[in-house]
């Protein structure tokens, strides 16, 4: 049984939203879940909740930051019966014409973090999202009027990178965003034959020189709320 998620099989819905931040997990449950949701995990502050969204079962579980922390959570969610994982959060924008507050749907992930590569036992493995979830997310985003970008992203092991040219290299190779957990989620999903998708709001746009322009807290909240509502629908889609 899981060590870090102190729950029993059946405590989590098959469809699980996965933000990094425990405060965001609580906010998602309080803002988007139907009344009557319950807390299913508090161990190590990794808050998890289960309830319904528009009548459909759904859970949200904090992963923490980075692949090592997130990998533990994804593995233990599998032990507890999860079948569909949807990462929700923010990313740095790398694509041309991107604006802060836009939505990114990660088609696949490259990574410089050794954790998912070691887990996959395949150097250079670049896992992909579930095609059906990508189609659903893109369709719902466009129907809502959101600006959505679809393409490969980078999962980085570093938040503060000492090499200012790193982002320019990823961008030159066609990556549209950078974050810290999606490659681990897609790799765990590939190993266990789960559905998985990462949806993120662009919180800052990264220049080729490593400098960034960041969105205001209020603009970020609005952008994340719009993305989160769609992510809930993707997670509970047929």
Give the residue numbers marked as catalytic: 204
Closest Cα partner for 6 from 47, 38, 37? 47
Chain center to CA of 160: 20
Closest Cα partner for 34 from 234, 232, 196? 232
Helix axes 217-235, 131-143, angle to 10 degrees: 130
Are the beta carbons of 78 and 194 closer than 8 angstroms?
yes
Torsion of CA 106, 221, 34, 18, to 10 degrees: 40
């Amino acid at each position: 049984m899981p060590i870090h998620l102190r729950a029993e099989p059946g405590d989590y819905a098959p469809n699980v939203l996965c933000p990094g931040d425990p405060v965001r997990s609580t906010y998602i449950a309080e803002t988007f879940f139907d009344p009557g949701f319950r807390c299913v995990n508090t161990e190590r502050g990794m808050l998890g909740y289960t309830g319904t969204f528009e009548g459909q079962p759904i859970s949200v579980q904090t992963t923490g930051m980075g692949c090592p922390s997130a990998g533990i959570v994804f593995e233990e969610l599998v032990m507890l019966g999860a079948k569909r994982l949807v990462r929700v959060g923010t990313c740095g924008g790398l694509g041309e014409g991107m604006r802060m507050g836009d939505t990114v749907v990660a088609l696949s992930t490259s990574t410089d973090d050794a954790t998912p590569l070691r887990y996959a036992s395949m150097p250079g493995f670049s896992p992909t999202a579930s095609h059906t979830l990508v189609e659903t997310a893109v369709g719902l985003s466009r129907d809502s009027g959101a600006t959505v970008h679809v393409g490969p992203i980078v999962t980085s092991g570093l938040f503060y990178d000492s090499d200012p040219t790193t982002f320019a290299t990823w961008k030159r190779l066609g990556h549209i965003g950078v974050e810290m957990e999606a490659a681990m989620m897609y790799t765990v999903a590939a190993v266990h034959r789960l559905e998985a998708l990462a949806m993120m709001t662009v919180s800052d746009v990264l220049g080729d020189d490593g400098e960034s322009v960041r969105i205001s807290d209020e603009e970020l909240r609005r952008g994340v709320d719009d993305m989160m509502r769609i992510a809930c629908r993707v997670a509970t889609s047929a």
